[in-house]
Amino acid sequence: MGHLSKKAAETTGLRSGIALISGAGDKIAGCVGANVLKKGDMIFEAASYAGLSCLVDDFRPDYEQRYFDILDGAFPDDLYAHYYIPGSGITLNWFMDHFARKGEESLGEAFARMDAKVGQIPPGSEGLMAIGMMGGTAMPFDGALKGVWMGFNWVHREEHFYRALQESFSYAVSTAIDRINAKYPDCGQDTVKIIGGRARSRVWTQMLADVSQKTFERLDREDIALWGACLLAADGIGLFGDVRKAAEEHVHVKEVYRPNRELAGRYAELKEQYNRYAKELSPYCKALKA
């Protein structure tokens, strides 16, 4: 786009003449770094603010349910249908810090211990359901619909509440995939790449696969978005002849999570129930806020 001027260099302490490259925000940089660069490619970033992105080639807004928006890609004509959950990863950390961590246990140790317990609980958390949107929902927008647990009794323990949070996010992500596929049937693929800190959770990744009935692929890099920004910078100074090829060559699938077809019916019922409750409980949440 240009080069750093002498005056700007003096102000910033950098060297004048440095090339200024048009980069990207975190989600789009992640798409570049993860090689989500072909029509229909889909990725879920299980991070502090989780996001689902699918590369599409035109603008088809979801006027009916408002479950995704459209982001510009890093390359001309690239568009991404995008859904995100405000603070999902923050919510999981919050639960660990306030309810689950024991003594000097690290956050990573707490997650691993909780995952081991969650994996023993059947779908539906034995009657406990959550709406884990602690910061409200962004798509569709509803700032009042926040954290809810319902259906719990004396049987339920900390791992049930944690699993219910994971299930709530899984239902939301699966619904977003449904909406994108409904608007872009020509983009429908059976594979979703997964990155981010919570992609380390084999239990949650398998749950996402089972709820959505899509195959999830964990990638072999921990620095996907940073790597995507580096690729764009290198492309800007002409280091790569084909940045898409470079992206493909430098990231690979590490683990594959295939959906359990026997759980499809059960999770479809739970997802429908979750979406119905989210709609019906919204007025009550607004009353509480008032």
The pTM assigned to this predicted structure is: 0.92
Considering only the top CATH level, what class is 26-231+242-289?
A: alpha beta
* Residue among 282, 284, 274, 48 at smallest CA distance from 142: 282
* Residue among 35, 70, 43 at smallest CA distance from 56: 70
For 82-129, write each residue's pLDDT tens digit.
Answer: 999 998 999 999 999 999 998 889 999 999 999 999 999 999 999 999
DSSP string, 235-284: HHTT--S-HHHHHHHT--EEEEE---GGGHHHHHHHHHHHHHHHHHHHHH
Calculate what percentage of the chain has a pLDDT beyond 70. 99
What torsion do the CA atoms of 153, 94, 89, 103 make, to the nearest 10 degrees?
A: -100
Neighbours of 68 (CB within 10 A): 26
For 56-93, write each residue's pLDDT tens digit.
Answer: 989 999 999 999 999 999 988 899 999 999 989 999 99
Question: What percent helix, strand, coil does the chain show, rounded to 5?
Answer: 45, 20, 35
